[in-house]
Copies of this chain bind each other. A is one copy, B any other.
Amino acid sequence: MQTAAAISPVPAAARMPRPTRRDEGDVAQRIADTLKLLDSKLAVQRRVVHAGDVIFRAGQAFGHLHVLNSGLCKIVNLAPDGREQVVGLKFRGDWLGFDGIANSRHSCDAIAMDTGEVWMIRYDQLLDACQRHPALMLLLHEAMSREMAHDRETMLSLCTLPADARVAEFLRYWSDALAERGLRTDQLMLRMTRAEIGNYLGMTLETVSRALSRLARDKVIAFAGKGRRDLLIPDVGALSSFVQRSIAPAPTLSAE
């Protein structure tokens, strides 16, 4: 992680009018509407998946987009030289497989991390349907746009946050995703090993473990049950403020 070098003379906070965020209810509604619209206009093929199941693999011919109706899924990017990295987590209502459109071939693995249902949508049929139903096209573009915006947030976190804060931010994001979908957010079952989390966040499994221990010591999170995979998050705000604290350890700047 490097210092937030001032690459622009104007402080960002000063010129960015915080974009108005939909609140949770809206997101849940949007997802429900999306699923309903897809189901009504298209021949959706449903598939039940279990933890570890491959939804698609890098290199496979692209023919379908997928939408997660329930469950949880990770996206893993692979380099030809063997490096691999978890580059995304997907929740109910999220689309999978956009990356395959450009080269007619998937460039990532998508792996289920829990029991769930995936809707498969033939891309050619989707295109047809978009011609007939502009709302469908809007919705599709919106989903792609959202994914891009989120990827950039991820890059920002990877580059500007220290390890502890990155783990906190990761938990905050996850519980946010749950909240948006109307699920309880005070308890969170990590369905990834420390190694996977570390891979996702660009750090080692030991660093993840230490970060979690520290967060627990500071009462920002707690472990539920005996396994160390179930977390209690009494206050999501505490996670956010932990992140904020770690990027401004010496906040005593007079002007600016």
Binding site for B on A (CB under 8 A): 1-8, 11-13, 15-22, 57-59, 75-88, 98-103, 105, 107-109, 127, 130-131, 134, 137-138, 140-149, 151-156, 158-160, 193, 195-196, 198-199, 201-205, 207, 244, 247-248
Contacts and interface: CB of A to CB of B under 8 A. Distances in A.
9 contacts: A8-B109, A12-B78, A12-B83, A19-B59, A79-B156, A81-B247, A108-B152, A130-B137, A131-B131
Contacts of A158: 155, 158-159, 202
Nearest to A5: B195
A125 B160 CA distance: 38
B199 A82 contact: no
Copies of this protein chain in the complex: 2
Contacts of A201: 159
Given A77-B155, A85-B156, A198 B2 contact: yes
Contacts of A1: 202
A140 B141 CA distance: 9
Given A2-B203, A81-B247, A107 B137 contact: no
A253 B154 CA distance: 33
Given A12-B79, A202-B159, A151 B148 contact: yes
